[in-house]
Amino acid sequence: MATKQLTAQGFKDNIYDYTGGQDWHFKGKLPVIIDFDADWCGPCKTVAPVLEELSNDYAGRIEVYKIDTEKEQELSSLFGIQSIPTFLFIPLEGDPMLERGAFGKNVFIEIIETRMLAATNNSSDPAENDKD
């Protein structure tokens, strides 16, 4: 599994239709990381291989998308993106979390495990929780 490009229409179809109302309603079935980036962004290029690794490491547990801020200015404006890279972490339940800056794989893992998968792990199949 690899990171996928996301357009405004794809965002509305798969993540959240921001044209339909003010309340956040996540449409996804897996937690999501969205990377707001641009082709000219050096730090974005540094983080890209880390996101690819995470996409593979957490395949089937999270989805990773990229939004090109140059092409998708409506989405960039909607989230107030003023610097890149900026990451939108969307858990299955609760509000999304916006984080700015390029960080290492260990920071991503911590956020994924503690903020995005913690609720999912706690409410997973009870048979899984019975294993010793």
Residue 11, pLDDT > 80, answer yes
Which tens digits make up the pLDDT trace of 117-128? 986 555 444 334
Indicate the pLDDT class of residue 129, thresholds 50, 70 and 90.
very low
pLDDT above 70 as % of the chain: 88
Q: What would the DSSP string read from start to end of 83-95?
A: SSSEEEEE-SSS-
Q: Name the residue range of residue 84's domain.
A: 4-10+30-116
**86 within a domain of the structure (yes/no):** yes
CATH number assigned to the domain comprising residue 85: 3.40.30.10
Predicted pLDDT at 50:
96
**59 within a domain of the structure (yes/no):** yes
Residue 71, pLDDT > 90, answer yes
Q: What is the mean pLDDT of the chain?
A: 87
**100 within a domain of the structure (yes/no):** yes
**pTM recorded for the entire structure:** 0.86
Residue 20, pLDDT > 60, answer yes
Q: Please give the tally of structural domains in the chain.
A: 1
pLDDT above 90 as % of the chain: 76
- DSSP annotation of 32: E
**79 within a domain of the structure (yes/no):** yes
- DSSP annotation of 71: T
Q: Annotated catalytic sites, by residue?
A: 41, 44
Residue 76, pLDDT > 90, answer yes
**21 within a domain of the structure (yes/no):** no
**15 within a domain of the structure (yes/no):** no
**125 within a domain of the structure (yes/no):** no
**25 within a domain of the structure (yes/no):** no
Instruction: Identify the helix (H) or strand (E) that includes residue 68.
Output: strand 63-68
